[in-house]
Amino acid sequence: MPAVIESIETLLVDLPTIRPHKLSMTTMACQTLVIVRMRHSDGIEGLGEGTTIGGLSYGPESPESIKLHIDTYLAPLLIGEPSGAINHLRARLDSQARGNAIAKSALETALLDAQGKRLGVSVATLLGGSRHVHLPVLWTLASGDTRKDIDEAEQRLNDRRHCDFKLKIGANAVDEDVRHVAAIKAALGDRAGVRVDVNQAWDEATAVRGIAALQDAGVELIEQPIPARDHDGLVRLADRFRVPLLADEAVADARDGMTLATAGFSGAVALKIAKSAGPRGALALAEVARAAGHGLYGGTMLEGTIGTAASLHAWSTLGELRWGTEMFGPLLLRDDIVTTPLDYHEFGVDLPSGPGLGLALDEDKLAHYARPA
């Protein structure tokens, strides 16, 4: 008898961050993970994670809505269905529930984890096989204080943890942000790559001024300077400057990738399993982006270890990641809910080995950090 899905449990897990993390739209002191435990009739449990940033400040799904929508609408579409029929189950979710990309990503991850455990292979193997077992990982400097950011970068360079840094800007006046970035780049010099993420905070005219100054300061990549839906503006900015632009909020899935390519965008694309409704959708976007000549970047929604590992399994199957990855989410959190954390070293992280995601839950930690039902 092929296994069927028996139950799906969702938990809200609040983990404090190691320091305040300041983005253009919010400052985070805590990250809320939505953890999925999907139990199957053959005794296998699949784990998934759906995580966003700052409640509703980053996008239309909040941790609470992800949990509610899985519990009320999505889980009932899966219960009793064959566990290994992942293509069928994903099509079923998409045909009966619109949007909810993060919730669907958590469920797809749990399906892949369970199927990998069932077959004794990794999620990367299910996705066609890993081409890399160690992936580069940058660090985000976002303490809100220039001196603290420089000290943090020096420490991580020293520890051989990270050699590329992404600075979160856009919350302050553009001249102040440019001074902050230029001071950090000047302090680090050629020892580190410095990029910025504006998280949609500028209008086009401000972006023209800001990007020109950041380019002069030696910044190597400018992420999402203007609002997500302004594809034409992004194309104009990419044409205007030598420094490459990275599309993040502007591109969620393969369809967006095609729209951006058709509009004439030249630059790079941030892949995130949360934006593309799961690892398979993120890899579909990667194919479109690659065909369009866009550089690839493995992005994060600051997930914990489960979501980060799911992303790593997907990114490991790609030949080239021109801009590396930012899969540092677990390092921003004070604690973990898995027994063996990911192994970060030599400016990157190892792909976890073992069946499925290659992770096991620490039940005591999970019980400690889970919000009471």
Partner whose footprint covers residue 130, from ligand MUC, Mg ion, none (CB < 5 to 8 Å by kind) = none
Active-site residue (options: 45, 49, 61, 326)? 326
Q: Does 326 engage in binding with Mg ion (CB under 5 A)?
A: no
- As a whole number of angstroms, the distance between CA 57 and CA 302 comes to 14
Indicate if 320 belongs to the active site.
no
Of residues 55-114, which lie at the interface with ligand MUC (CB under 6 A)?
none
Q: Does 276 engage in binding with ligand MUC (CB under 6 A)?
A: no
Instruction: Kindly give, in sequence order, each residue whose CB lies less than 8 Å from that of residue 16, ignoring residues fewer than 6 positions away.
Output: 29, 30, 333, 334, 335
Active-site residue (options: 104, 168, 185, 272)? 168
- From the list 182, 302, 333, 342, which residue makes contact with ligand MUC (rule: CB under 6 A)? 302
By C-beta, is 197 or 253 nearer to Mg ion? 197
Binding mask 139-178 for Mg ion (x = CB under 5 A): ----------------------------------------
Q: Does 140 engage in binding with ligand MUC (CB under 6 A)?
A: yes
Binding mask 188-227 for ligand MUC (x = CB under 6 A): ---------x-x----------------------------
- From the list 326, 331, 336, 355, which residue makes contact with ligand MUC (rule: CB under 6 A)? 326
Closest approach of Cβ 230 to Mg ion, in Å?
A: 15
Q: Does 197 engage in binding with Mg ion (CB under 5 A)?
A: yes
- As a whole number of angstroms, the distance between CA 98 and CA 24 comes to 28
- From the list 61, 248, 253, 303, which residue makes contact with ligand MUC (rule: CB under 6 A)? 248
Q: Which residue is nearest to Mg ion (CB)?
A: 248
Q: Which residue is nearest to ligand MUC (CB)?
A: 140
Closest approach of Cβ 299 to ligand MUC, in Å?
A: 6
Closest approach of Cβ 28 to ligand MUC, in Å?
A: 9
- As a whole number of angstroms, the distance between CA 71 and CA 332 comes to 28
Given a contact cutoff of 8 angstroms between Cβ atoms, the answer to whether 329 and 139 are in contact is: no
Indicate if 168 belongs to the active site.
yes
* Residue from 10, 30, 4 nearest 335 by CA: 30
Q: Is the dihedral of CA 230, 233, 237, 239 positive or negative?
A: positive
Which residues, listed in sequence order, are joined to residue 325 by a DSSP beta bridge? 137, 298
Catalytic residues: 168, 326
